[in-house]
Chains A and B, each alone.
Chain A
Amino acid sequence: MTLPLHHPDDRHLFGYASGQERAGKSLLVATHLAYCPDCRRRVASFEALCGNWFEELPCPDHDGLDGLLDRMDGLLAGSPMPAEVARPRQAAATGERLVPEPLRGWLPEAIDTPTDDGRWQEISKGVWLSGWERTLSGTTIRLLRMASDAPVPAHRHTADELLLVLRGAFSDEYGSYSVGDVAHYVAATDHHARGASEEDCICLFLLDGDLIFLDEDGNSL
């Protein structure tokens, strides 16, 4: 088992731990966490730091809180302890790797089978964007699919672009990325991704601003 080598920035991990990160990027961070024990510990450490800050909050006299406690009496009586539901701990998936939660519940059904129904739109030879699309807290979420060695066409984006590999592998001038890895491109950076696995590479693709594909002369398509 190779654990991910490319992690989200601390800005995202810390923001996820503190609650400052918004829902769209949190979906990518949380899905990376499912792949990455290292970042899970990192987030737990950031949560502990926030827990300390929470404990240190000043507590001036708050009139009325005792009244609130009294009013909770009925609620407590009416809320018995939920029975412990023992859910079977399944063995880790072997063979074909399933996309983990929380993303799996979001994806259209069968998106991660070889013959899926992502309603793929070919944007250049061997490169597709999913017709499936969601917008969460201002971030557009789609899937990007690259055939082996197919280059993603030149494009420009006005804000952050984040990729999380769900299947296969791709590479760019900064390194190579396989399942669970995160690539983060800030606005206006040049980067040239291309598929780097025998099977098609499928990534979760997050974009904050507009995405403009360019033709050979660098003009917007």
Chain B
Amino acid sequence: MLSGGCMPFSREPPLPRPLEQDRSSADPDADPFEALVHAVAQDRDRNAFAALFRHFAPKILNYCLKLGADRGMAEELVQDVMLAVWLKAGSFDPAQATVGTWVFTIARNRRIDRLRKEMRPAPDPDDPAMTPASLATPEEAAQLVQSSRQLQDAIGSLAANQSEVLRRSYFLEQTHEEIAEDTELPLGTVKTRLRLALGHLKRSMRDKA
């Protein structure tokens, strides 16, 4: 429930996968890693696992190094995350996320646990007190679908330089000062771009009653 969880909302009714509108779900080539995860889950296929490892291990290593792990810790985290991929392959749900996003969420949770030494509180999809989307009124349900689509449009239409400050600030956890130094931009420009980026996303928020 705390740090180990991933795909916390996998019991939601299926909806268009974020950022993947172009791909037809009938296209078997849509995400080549889905078949590998499936082979790991069904057949405990070591070759499929090795292929996943060769693709994702360098990314996990790089991610952990960028977030402050030393080489030894980063390698331990690679092992942790890939072991979780081996163990949890059966719970991967391609309707909810790509394999890349799924592996990212595992890596995120493991490094919060190991590097930051914090828990990560998360909802429990089996909790009877959780409000399921199916309890929405028809109007609310329509709004949910619309706001989800609007957000994906907003993400897709983010200016490249605004997306880049979001990436540095949220994904790489850089301070405004670090971003300014790395990108050789004035601090004020960094702050402006972040504000514009969040404003762009906010315009896609569901209208408040």
Contact = CB atoms under 8 A, between A and B. Distances in A.
A26 B41 CA distance: 31
B96 A58 contact: no
**Band of interface residues on B:** 35 or more
Interface residues of A, number: 75
Nearest to B158: A49
A23 B123 contact: no
Contacts of B140: 1-3
Contact of B129 (A58, A79, A104): A104
Contact of B9 (A7, A44, A57): A44
Nearest to B174: A20
A100 B171 contact: no
B162 interface: no
A180 B58 CA distance: 40
A54 B97 contact: no
Contact of A18 (B66, B170, B201): B170
Given A45-B19, A54-B63, A72-B83, A18 B171 contact: yes
Contacts of B97: 44, 47-48, 51
B137 interface: yes
Given A30-B121, A37-B144, A90-B128, A48 B98 contact: yes
Given A26-B121, A37-B133, A100-B130, 13 more contacts: A10-B202, A14-B170, A18-B173, A23-B118, A23-B120, A40-B123, A48-B18, A50-B104, A65-B54, A69-B53, A79-B86, A92-B135, A101-B123
